[in-house]
């Protein structure tokens, strides 16, 4: 019988995402000046305060305070009434050198033998229910908040928006796991103070339903038919949401791992991404398994795929590779047989993942809000400035793990025409 499935997203101004973006900005700056940097950086944000902590091995020296302020400024925390503001917040750095015990497990005499930066298992997932091979509920939840952020920056049709926001989308699926309609949409957005709470709630709900949602439909035309007249809207359901961001709730790096990945579909190994250089397989192998899953589905091997890889710290070869097609395989093979062929196509040793996906580049700031998966691969030029005034300009390719560059190889290996 039909069932409901829900996914959520959070905006770039959500406190946990503020922390993620600061951590990834530090990663990008270290990699821009020293591509061999090893970094594990955590960020905590709260009322008027940022705390940076972690381990770094790098030739680069950075002004971490100014990098953090730049991120906060870009997000939009630029007013003193937010109680967390780019120019005035305190920033404490407790970053120190990476443990030699960990480093000896990663660095090897030859690059190809580079060991995994930690043990653990990582998952990648893909489904053909959207054009970007992502679960639809999460895709919609992301797009609602991306459009809300665009409205905030335009400061035209809606003038009272503040940076913190959350969204949630509930879909109804049929017996064949196909989306039928949107059952419910939840949007909670931080806002300026109003004269009356009743007036505020009425105004915000009207603007979300009549301005925001039509803009999402217009840009997401393939699924516009799912936006029926029976959607249940819950807009700022707790009422007033003036106090938000790091002043309303402490933020930490790595607390939105389901928002970052597949919205509850597939599986998650538990390791966060932001603040970690690509020697940490929590990040690089999660990207690599997404790359595999997406290319498998796009090549026509299956309609849905979950790929797991696992590692031991300091060991280059993975412990194993697992594939689950959820019974949607279009070829006459078991999932185990599919996994064996996948292992021959994709070298999952950490060094080769880094090389294949070009991960030793400053490409991570863009991943830290609105999901690491399902994004558009593109080449951009980025500029970085050191405390000494040295300027580095780099052309980098973003979201390489989203490319369908292995579809041909997959089709050949599975004899798909």
Residues of the binding site for Mg(2+): 16
- Residue 415 contacts by C-beta under 8 Å, 6 or more apart in sequence? none
How many Cβ atoms are within 10 Å of 88's Cβ, its own excluded? 10
Query: Residue ranges for the binding site for K(+)?
Result: 42
Q: Which residues contact 283 (CB under 8 A, 6 or more apart)?
A: 271, 273, 276, 277
Non-local (6+) Cβ contacts of 279 within 8 A are 38, 106, 114, 117, 350, 354
DSSP-derived pairing of the beta strands 49-57 and 90-97? parallel
List all residues 6 or more positions away from 134 whose beta carbon is below 8 Å from its beta carbon. 126, 127, 262, 371, 373, 374
CA 69 to chain centre: 21
Give the orientation angle of helix 281-299 with respect to helix 335-345, to 10 degrees.
110
Residue numbers in the known binding site for L-methionine are: 55, 98, 249, 280
251-252/90-97 β-pairing: unpaired
C-alpha to C-alpha distance for 155 and 153, rounded to whole angstroms: 5
Q: Are 295 and 308 in contact (CB under 8 A)?
A: no
**For the chain, give me the number of helices (H) and strands (E)?**
12, 13
Count Cβ neighbours within 10 Å for each residue of 2-35 and write b for 16 or more, e otherwise: eeebbbbbbbbbbbbbbbbbbbbbbbbbbbbbbe
List the one residue out of 353, 360, 276 whose CA is nearest residue 102.
276
Q: At a CB cut-off of 8 Å and minimum separation 6, what does 344 contact?
A: 413
Give the number of C-alpha atoms closer than 13 A to the C-alpha of residue 74, restricted to the C-beta side.
15
SS3 per-residue string spanning 72-97: HHHHCCCCHHHCCCCCCCEEEEEEEE
Q: How far apart are CA 261 and CA 398, in angstroms?
A: 16
List 272's β-bridge partners, or say none.
none
**Quick one: tokens of 242?**
């003036």
Binding-site annotation, residues: 14, 16, 42, 55, 98, 164-166, 240-241, 249, 255-256, 272, 276, 280
Binding site for ATP: which residues?
14, 164-166, 240-241, 249, 255-256, 272, 276
């Amino acid at each position: 019988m039909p069932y409901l499935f829900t996914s959520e997203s959070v905006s770039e101004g959500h406190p946990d995402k503020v922390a993620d973006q600061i951590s990834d900005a530090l990663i990008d700056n270290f990699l821009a000046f020293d591509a061999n940097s090893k970094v594990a950086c955590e960020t905590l944000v709260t009322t008027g305060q940022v705390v940076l902590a972690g381990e770094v091995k790098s030739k680069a020296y950075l002004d971490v305070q100014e990098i953090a302020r730049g991120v906060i400024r870009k997000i939009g925390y630029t007013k003193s009434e937010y109680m967390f503001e780019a120019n005035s917040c305190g920033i404490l750095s407790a970053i120190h050198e990476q443990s030699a015990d960990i480093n000896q497990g990663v660095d090897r005499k030859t690059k190809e033998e580079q060991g995994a930066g930690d043990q653990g298992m990582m998952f990648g997932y893909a489904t053909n229910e959207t054009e970007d091979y992502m679960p639809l509920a999460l895709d919609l939840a992301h797009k609602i908040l991306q459009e809300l952020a665009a409205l905030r920056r335009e400061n035209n049709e809606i003038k009272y928006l503040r940076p913190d926001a959350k969204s949630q989308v509930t879909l109804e699926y049929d017996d064949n796991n196909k989306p039928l309609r949107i059952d419910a949409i939840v949007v909670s957005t931080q806002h300026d103070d109003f004269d009356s709470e009743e007036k505020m709630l009425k105004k915000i709900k009207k603007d979300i339903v009549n301005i925001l949602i039509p803009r999402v439909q217009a840009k997401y035309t393939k699924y516009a038919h799912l936006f029926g007249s029976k959607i249940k809207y819950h807009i700022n359901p707790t009422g007033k949401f003036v106090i938000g961001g790091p002043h309303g709730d402490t933020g930490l790096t790595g607390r939105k791992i389901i928002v970052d990945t597949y919205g509850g579909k597939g599986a998650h190994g538990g390791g966060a991404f932001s603040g970690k250089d690509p020697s940490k397989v929590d990040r690089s192998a999660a990207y690599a398994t997404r790359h595999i899953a997406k290319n498998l589905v796009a090549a026509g091997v299956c309609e849905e795929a979950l790929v797991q890889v696992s590692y031991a710290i300091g060991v280059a070869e993975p412990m194993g590779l697992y594939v689950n097609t959820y019974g949607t395989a279009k070829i006459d093979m078991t999932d185990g047989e599919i996994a064996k062929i996948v292992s021959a196509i994709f070298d999952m040793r950490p060094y080769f993942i880094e090389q294949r996906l070009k991960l030793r580049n400053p490409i991570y700031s863009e991943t830290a809000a609105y999901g690491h998966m399902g994004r558009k691969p593109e080449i951009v030029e980025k500029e970085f400035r050191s405390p000494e005034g040295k300027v580095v300009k780099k052309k980098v390719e973003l979201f390489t793990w989203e490319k369908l560059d292995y579809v041909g190889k997959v089709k050949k290996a599975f004899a798909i025409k």
